[in-house]
């Protein structure tokens, strides 16, 4: 199909296939799909940024057991939040979630709906904001993420390369018309995930695709290990390098990044959680 034209019949066929797959094989029991609690959905959406569903499920339940309400998270300290988050990766997300909780409680009287409508929450970009509006409040907006891109690219651009989100937008908007926003986007994600298993990842043909780097041996791994150590107390540069068996230069690089992200601070030659 050309990128210029949008056939209503092809979009209708696409809808039928998406809904059929959702009825047969949808992930209906994912814990964040069985709740309408906006706070729980906020936690899930932040966790799902750059992290696959199986890794999130257990941590999501653990996090909500420790912080069952928005206010309990807002009252906590970052050190404890990072301990619970440990193992999930991309730890700045924990900091952003913690800051968002405090902002929502103090500036918006605990209303996540008002906050998403009025403010840019820390670490909540356009996609996550749209996801909150859809899954928490069932608002009629659309969004694009990796699985949804895979669904549209596979179905409507089977041979094209460097497919932009602008190319996808007419199909996205037409397909969403008249559908329940919450259920439709859940179905789309599941259909796209299924397409990625059946076919060579269609998302790789997206203009916005970036290959994820390996975790083992990465700076992300060093950062995570540093935060786990600092969760138990303060360390100096050399002590960190010896304990972690990483090159001291590598440790310092990781520390600079963690300090820039506001996750650690240096005091009298030692590092601690911010």
- Give the Cα-Cα-Cα angle 115, 119, 120 (nearest 5 degrees): 115
> How do the residues of the chain divide into helix, strand and coil, expressed in percent and rounded to 5?
65, 5, 35
The reply to whether 267 belongs to the active site is no
- Helix H or strand E segment including 272: strand 270-273
Residues whose CB is less than 8 angstroms from the CB of residue 26 and which lie 6 or more positions away in sequence, other chains included: 186, 187, 190
Question: What is the rounded CA–CA span in Å between residue 178 and residue 39?
Answer: 27
Active-site residue (options: 45, 145, 253, 267): 45
- Output the CA angle 66-70-121, nearest 5 degrees: 120
R_g of the chain computed on alpha carbons? 21
- C-beta separation of 49 from 89 below 8 A: no
List 264's β-bridge partners, or say none: 273
CB atoms within 10 A of CB 62: 14
- Give the Cα separation of 3 and 267 in Å (integer): 57
Tell which residue, 166, 258, 162, has the closest CA to residue 210: 162
Active site residues: 45
């Amino acid at each position: 199909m050309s990128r210029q034209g949008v056939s209503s019949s092809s979009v209708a066929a696409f809808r039928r296939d998406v809904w059929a797959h959702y009825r047969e094989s949808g992930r209906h029991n994912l814990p964040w799909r069985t709740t309408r609690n906006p706070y729980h959905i906020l936690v899930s959406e932040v966790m799902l940024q750059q992290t696959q569903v199986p890794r999130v499920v257990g941590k999501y339940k653990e996090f909500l057991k420790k912080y069952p309400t928005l206010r309990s998270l807002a009252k906590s300290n970052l050190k404890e939040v990072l301990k619970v988050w440990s193992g999930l990766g991309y730890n700045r997300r924990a900091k952003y979630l913690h800051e968002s909780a405090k902002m929502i409680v103090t500036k918006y009287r605990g209303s996540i709906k008002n906050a998403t409508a009025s403010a840019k929450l820390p670490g909540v970009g356009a996609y996550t904001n749209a996801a909150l509006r859809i899954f928490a409040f069932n608002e009629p907006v659309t969004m694009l993420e990796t699985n949804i891109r895979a669904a549209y690219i596979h179905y409507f651009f089977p041979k094209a390369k460097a497919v932009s989100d602008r190319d996808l937008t007419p199909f996205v908007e037409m397909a969403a018309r008249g559908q329940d926003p919450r259920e439709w986007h859940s179905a789309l994600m599941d259909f796209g995930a299924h397409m990625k298993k059946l076919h060579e990842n269609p998302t790789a043909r997206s203009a916005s695709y970036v290959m994820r780097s390996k975790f083992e041996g990465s700076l992300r791994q060093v950062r995570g290990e540093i935060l786990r150590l600092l969760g138990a107390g303060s360390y100096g540069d050399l002590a960190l390098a010896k304990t972690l068996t990483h090159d001291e230069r590598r440790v310092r690089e990781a520390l600079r990044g963690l300090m820039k992200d506001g996750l650690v601070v240096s005091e009298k030659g030692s590092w601690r959680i911010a």
